């Protein structure tokens, strides 16, 4: 393959932000166009370099082509939008019915969410998957929260000499739990960011909301305290926040243009965070509201910074092209489902 | 005086790209480059589709379930992505062609000189 074509296709791929199978289909298809076009132009008397230059110019700027391809492929069906909304509604349902206190129903909900996540991951990571992944990570956050008192006890005993030091095995277990949870959350985030930072933001958005909820409950006496009126009020606020996130997810899947997806996600989730903050901490003034919104905005935009650092695609350029070439044989006769 | 050949307005074509692509693919399975050439040939060079427009349009139609793409290997060993129309695509094409016929009939009626 000529370096000019390879460089063009690399740039198209780096701006596609679609699932790997679709990206490969698109790049291969554009490559077949170049092959046909260059052959024809050469047959008409142009040199190879002239023909390549003309074919590339005729196709248009790679960023524009990538944007058009993204818009052609990124809009999900109504069913996909409903599936992406579903985990938010399941969690909202747990809060409305207060079944999150019931270990059986809470476990059933999370096991179902993890099963759907694994299925979607195995089926090529469709765009409806990412809210499900986010909720699958929640038990890790909650596990870390539950294990944190052991660390606090150890630190208190070590630095201030108050209380007894927990057993070494308990401490090691807690450190392993927190370490592995962090590793899973970070590595999953990086993998998702490599595809598209917006999907990582969509995935991570429940985590700060649940984190703030855990902190607020801690101040009110802990997660497993009795159900008081204020806790009921919090449950309703949390349910409303998750329903709002569900609407944001469904809208995200249905929108075609990337800029609208980013706008909808940032706006709705920031409003949801501000509303949750207001519900948790009462009337905390304009600046409190502004600070909560800004924090959420920074959190949602942080995957974009990670993407700028680590780049796009699960494989480097060279490795991707090697696997792409091998894949050509597999493409014939069995189109991959997208 | 002989009329100059007219140039089409891209905005006029934009709404018809899908119809033209669906129509050609309904006739026979085709790949992107072939479709661009075929539209140019049939319109005697009047329509000159940009490649960067046709391929995204094909993918959008496929995403909407109106087309299905499949890689096929040619006798010379090259592979190409051929598109074929689905039942949903055939139904959509019938609707688009009916709309287009009604539209052109209405435009022609307006253009007809008023009889004194």
DSSP string over A61-82: -HHHHHHHHHHHH-PPPHHHHH
For residue B106, pLDDT beyond 70: yes
Query: Is A89 contained in some domain?
Result: yes
A32 and A102 together in one domain:
no
User: How many Å apart are CA A271 and CA B2, to the nearest integer?
Assistant: 64
**Interface with chain B: mutation pick from A5, A30, A31, A33, highest number of B CBs within 10 Å:** A33
Residues of A in contact with B38 (CB under 8 A): none
The answer as to whether A149 is a domain residue is no
On whether residue B1 sits in a domain, the answer given is: no
Q: Is residue A38 located within the same domain as residue A115?
A: no
Q: What residue numbers bound the domain in which B69 lies? A: 10-110
Q: What is the dihedral of CA A278, A284, A286, A287, to 10 degrees?
A: -110
As a whole number of angstroms, the distance between CA A287 and CA A305 comes to 26
Average pLDDT over chain A, rounded to an integer: 84
- Can you read off the two tokens belonging to residue A173? 């277990």
**Two structure tokens written together for A215:** 């902190």
3-state SS assignment for residue B5: coil
* Residue A292: per-residue pLDDT: 82
Co-location of A67 and A94 in the same domain: no
**Looking at the domain assignment, is residue B4 inside a domain?**
no
Look at residue A155 in the predicted model and tell me its pLDDT: 79
The helix/strand/coil state of B47 is: coil
Tokens of B78: 């090259």
How many other β-carbons are positioned within 10 Å of the β-carbon of residue A321? 17
Q: Is residue B26 part of a domain?
A: yes
Q: Is residue A296 a part of any domain in this protein?
A: yes
Compare CB distances from B55 to A30, A331, A332 and report the shortest one's residue: A30
Residues 6+ apart with CB under 8 A from A246: A85, A86, A88, A89, A92
B19 is a domain residue: yes
Residue A67 domain flag: yes
- Are residues A62 and A197 both part of a single domain? no
Q: Do residues A33 and A82 share a domain?
A: no
Q: Measure the CA–CA gap between A59 and A12, rounded to whole angstroms.
A: 11
- The answer as to whether A329 is a domain residue is no
A200 domain-assigned: yes
Q: Is A41 helix (H, G, I), strand (E, B) or coil?
A: helix
User: pLDDT tens digit string along A146-161?
Assistant: 887 787 777 777 777 7
pLDDT above 80 (res B4): no
Nearest by CB to residue B33, choosing from A36, A333, A335, is A36
Q: Taking an 8 Å Cβ-Cβ cutoff, which residues of chain B contact chain A?
A: 31-33, 50-53, 55-57, 59-60, 63, 68-73, 78-81
- Regarding whether A180 and A57 lie in a shared domain, the answer is no
Domain count for chain B? 1
A35 and A182 part of one domain = no
Q: How much is the ipTM here? A: 0.83
User: Residue A194 domain-assigned?
Assistant: yes
Give me the pLDDT at residue A289, please.
78
Q: Model confidence over A64-91: pLDDT tens digits?
A: 999 999 999 988 889 999 999 999 999 9
Cβ-proximal residues to A49 (8 Å cutoff; 6+ apart), any chain:
A4
B50/A60 Cβ within 8 A: yes
Structural domain total, chain A: 2
Q: Does the pLDDT of residue B15 top 60, yes or no?
A: yes
B116 inside domain: no
Does residue A151 lie in a domain region? Answer: no
> Do residues A185 and A230 both lie within one domain?
yes
Residue B47, pLDDT above cutoff 70: yes
* Cβ pairs bridging A and B (under 8 Å): 70
Pair A218, A148: CB distance under 8 Å: no
Give first-to-last CA distance, chain A, whole Å: 27
CA distances from A15 to A64, A111, A125, B78, B89 (A): 9, 35, 18, 27, 29
For residue A337, pLDDT beyond 70: no
A63 lies within 8 A of chain B by CB? no
Answer whether residue B98 is part of any domain: yes
Same domain, A52 and A83: no
Mark whether A212 and A291 lie in a shared domain: yes
Report yes or no on B5 lying in a domain.
no
Which residue is closest to A32 within chain B, CA to CA?
B80
B41 occurs within a structural domain: yes
DSSP code string of A110-152: HHHHHHHHHHHHHTT--TTHHHHHHHHHHHHHHHHHHHHHHHH
Q: Quick one: pLDDT band at residue A260, thresholds 50, 70, 90? A: very high
How many Å apart are CA A55 and CA A60, to the nearest integer?
Answer: 9
Q: In CATH, what number is assigned to the domain containing residue B25?
A: 1.10.10.10
Whole domain around residue A127: which residue ranges?
A: 78-133+176-310
Give the pLDDT confidence of B61-88 residue by residue, as tens digits. Answer: 999 999 999 998 888 778 889 999 999 9
Report d(CA A190, CA A195) in Å as an integer. 9
Q: Report CA Rg, chain A.
A: 24
Q: Which two tokens stand for residue A229?
A: 């009126």
For residues A47 and A111, membership in a common domain is answered with no
Residues A225 and A288 in one domain: yes
Average pLDDT over residues A177-192: 91
């Amino acid at each position: 393959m000529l370096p000019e074509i390879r460089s063009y296709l690399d740039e198209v791929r780096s701006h596609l932000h679609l699932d790997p199978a679709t990206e490969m289909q698109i790049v291969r298809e554009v490559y077949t166009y170049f092959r046909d076009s260059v052959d024809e132009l050469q047959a008409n008397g142009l040199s190879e370099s002239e023909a390549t230059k003309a074919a590339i110019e005729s196709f248009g700027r790679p960023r524009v082509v990538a944007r058009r391809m993204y818009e052609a492929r990124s809009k999900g069906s109504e069913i996909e939008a409903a599936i992406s909304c579903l985990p938010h509604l399941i969690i909202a349902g747990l809060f409305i019915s207060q079944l999150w206190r019931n270990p059986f129903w809470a476990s059933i909900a999370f096991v179902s969410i993890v099963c759907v996540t694994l299925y979607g991951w195995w089926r090529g990571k469709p765009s409806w998957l990412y809210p499900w992944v986010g909720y699958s990570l929640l038990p890790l956050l909650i596990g870390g929260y539950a294990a944190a008192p052991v660390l606090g006890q150890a630190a208190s005993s070590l630095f201030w000499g108050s209380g007894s030091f927990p057993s070494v095995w308990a401490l090691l277990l807690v450190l392993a739990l927190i370490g592995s949870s962090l590793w899973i959350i970070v590595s999953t985030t990086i993998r998702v960011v490599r595809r598209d930072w917006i999907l990582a933001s969509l995935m991570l958005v429940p985590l700060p909301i649940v984190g703030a909820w855990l902190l607020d409950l801690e101040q009110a006496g802990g997660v497993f305290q009795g159900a008081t009126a204020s806790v009921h009020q919090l449950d309703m606020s949390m349910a409303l926040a998750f329903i709002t996130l569900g609407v944001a997810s469904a809208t995200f899947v249905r929108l075609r243009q990337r800029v609208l997806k980013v706008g909808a996600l940032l706006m709705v989730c920031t409003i949801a965070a501000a509303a949750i903050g207001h519900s948790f901490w009462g009337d905390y003034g304009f600046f409190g509201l502004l600070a909560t919104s800004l924090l959420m905005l920074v959190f949602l935009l942080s995957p974009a910074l990670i993407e700028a650092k680590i780049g796009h695609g699960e494989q480097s350029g060279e490795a991707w092209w090697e696997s792409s070439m091998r894949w050509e044989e597999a493409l014939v006769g069995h189109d991959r489902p997208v | 005086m002989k009329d100059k050949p007219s140039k089409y307005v891209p905005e006029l074509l934009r709404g018809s790209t899908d119809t033209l692509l669906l129509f050609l693919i309904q006739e026979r399975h085709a790949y992107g480059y072939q479709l661009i050439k075929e539209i140019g040939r049939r319109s005697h060079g009047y329509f000159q589709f940009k490649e960067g427009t046709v391929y995204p349009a094909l993918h959008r139609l496929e995403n909407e379930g109106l087309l299905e793409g499949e890689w096929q290997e040619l006798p010379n060993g090259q592979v190409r992505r051929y598109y074929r129309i689905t039942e949903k695509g055939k139904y959509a094409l019938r609707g688009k062609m009916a709309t287009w016929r009604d539209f052109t009939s209405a435009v022609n009626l307006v253009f007809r000189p008023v009889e004194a």
